[in-house]
Amino acid sequence: MSTIADKTVSGRPHPGAGPLSPDELRRVHAYWRAANYLSVGQIYLYDNPLLREPLRPEHVKRRLLGHWGTTPGLNFIYVHFNRLIKKHDLNVIYITGPGHGGPGLLANTYLEGTYSEFYTNIPQNAGGMKQLFKQFSFPGGVPSHVAPETPGSIHEGGELGYAIAHAYGAAFDNPDLVVCCVVGDGEAETGPLAASWHSNKFLNPVRDGAVLPVLHLNGYKIANPTVLGRLTDEELTDLFTGYGYKPHFVEGAEPELMHQLMAATLDSALAEIKAIQNDARTSGFRQRPTWPMIVLRTPKGWTGPKIVDGLAVEGSYRAHQVPVAEPRTNPEHLKILDEWMKSYHAEELFDQNGKLIPELAELAPSGDRRMGANPHANGGLLLKDLVAPDFRDYAVAVSKPGQVVAEATRVLGQFLRDVMKLNAEARNFRVFGPDETASNRLEALYEATDKVFTGQILPSDDHLSPEGRVMEVLSEHLCQGWLEGYLLTGRHGFFSCYEAFVHIIDSMFNQHAKWLKVTRDIPWRRPIASMNYLLTSHVWRQDHNGFSHQDPGFIDHVVNKKADTVRVYLPPDANTLLSVADHCLSSRHYVNVIVAGKQPALQWLDMDSAIKHCTAGIGIWEWASTDQGSEPDAVVACAGDVPTLETLAAVDLLRRNFPDAKLRVVNVVT
Ligand SMILES: Cc1ncc(C[n+]2csc(CCOP(=O)(O)OP(=O)(O)O)c2C)c(N)n1
Ligand SMILES: [Mg+2]
pLDDT averaged over 10-residue windows placed end to end, the chain, 670 residues = 43 69 98 98 98 98 97 98 98 98 98 98 98 97 97 94 98 98 98 98 98 98 98 98 98 98 98 98 97 98 98 98 97 98 98 98 98 98 98 98 97 98 98 94 97 98 98 98 98 96 97 98 98 92 84 94 97 98 98 96 98 98 94 97 97 96 97
**Ligand 1 atom with minimal separation from the 159 CA:** 26
Residue 8 has what pLDDT? 40
Look at ligand 1, atom 11, and give the residue with the nearest C-alpha: 221
Q: Decide whether any atom of ligand 1 lies within 6 Å of the 70 Cβ.
A: yes
Contact (CB, 8 A) for 48 and 346: no
Contact (CB, 8 A) for 257 and 162: no
Cα separation of 588 and 380, whole Å? Answer: 9
| Amino acid code (one letter) for 320 | H
Residue 1 has what pLDDT? 43
| CB neighbourhood size of 456 (10 A) | 10
User: What sign has the CA pseudo-torsion 560, 561, 566, 567?
Assistant: positive
Contact (CB, 8 A) for 129 and 119: no
CA distances in angstroms from 201 to 32, 198, 237, 288, 445, listed in the order given: 35, 6, 19, 7, 21
Distance 154 CA to ligand 2 centre (A): 21
Residue 5 has what pLDDT? 43
With both helix axes pointing from N to C terminus, report the angle between 102-112 and 71-88 in degrees, rounded to the nearest 10.
Answer: 30
Sheet holding 663-668, edge to edge: 618-620, 663-668, 634-639
Q: What are the φ and ψ backbone dihedral angles of 294, each rounded to 5 degrees? A: -120, 135
Q: Decide whether any atom of ligand 1 lies within 6 Å of the 317 Cβ.
A: no
**Ligand 1 atom with minimal separation from the 183 CA:** 15
Q: Is residue 244 classed as helix, strand or coil in its secondary structure?
A: coil
Beta bridge partners of 533: 495, 593
Q: Which ligand is nearest to the CA of 97?
A: 1
With both helix axes pointing from N to C terminus, report the angle between 574-586 and 408-422 in degrees, rounded to the nearest 10.
Answer: 30
Distance 296 CA to ligand 2 centre (A): 11
Q: Decide whether any atom of ligand 1 lies within 6 Å of the 509 Cβ.
A: no
Distance 186 CA to ligand 2 centre (A): 5
Q: What residues have CB less than 8 Å from 548, skipping those under 6 apart?
A: 500
Residue 18 has what pLDDT? 85
Contact (CB, 8 A) for 377 and 149: no
Contact (CB, 8 A) for 379 and 487: yes
**Ligand 1 atom with minimal separation from the 184 CA:** 15
| Amino acid code (one letter) for 628 | Q
Distance 320 CA to ligand 2 centre (A): 8
Cα separation of 447 and 454, whole Å? Answer: 20
Q: Decide whether any atom of ligand 1 lies within 6 Å of the 17 Cβ.
A: no
Beta bridge partners of 250: 296
**Ligand 1 atom with minimal separation from the 97 CA:** 15
Cα separation of 560 and 436, whole Å? Answer: 27
Q: Decide whether any atom of ligand 1 lies within 6 Å of the 100 Cβ.
A: yes
| CB neighbourhood size of 306 (10 A) | 16
Q: What are the φ and ψ backbone dihedral angles of 60, each rounded to 5 degrees? A: -100, 140
**Ligand 1 atom with minimal separation from the 226 CA:** 16
Residue 16 has what pLDDT? 65
Cα separation of 530 and 584, whole Å? Answer: 7
**Rounded (5°) CA angle 142-505-536:** 135
Q: Decide whether any atom of ligand 1 lies within 6 Å of the 145 Cβ.
A: no
Cα separation of 572 and 560, whole Å? Answer: 23
**Ligand 1 atom with minimal separation from the 187 CA:** 15
Q: Decide whether any atom of ligand 1 lies within 6 Å of the 222 Cβ.
A: yes
Distance 221 CA to ligand 1 centre (A): 6
Sheet holding 91-96, edge to edge: 91-96, 177-184, 210-217, 291-297, 245-251
Label residue 223 exposed, middle or buried (CB < 10 Å: 0-12, 13-18, 19+): exposed
Q: Decide whether any atom of ligand 1 lies within 6 Å of the 300 Cβ.
A: yes
**Ligand 1 atom with minimal separation from the 69 CA:** 21
Look at ligand 1, atom 16, and give the residue with the nearest C-alpha: 186
Residue 539 has what pLDDT? 86
Distance 297 CA to ligand 2 centre (A): 10
Distance 457 CA to ligand 1 centre (A): 37
Distance 75 CA to ligand 1 centre (A): 18
Q: Which ligand is nearest to the CA of 71?
A: 1
The pTM assigned to this predicted structure is 0.97
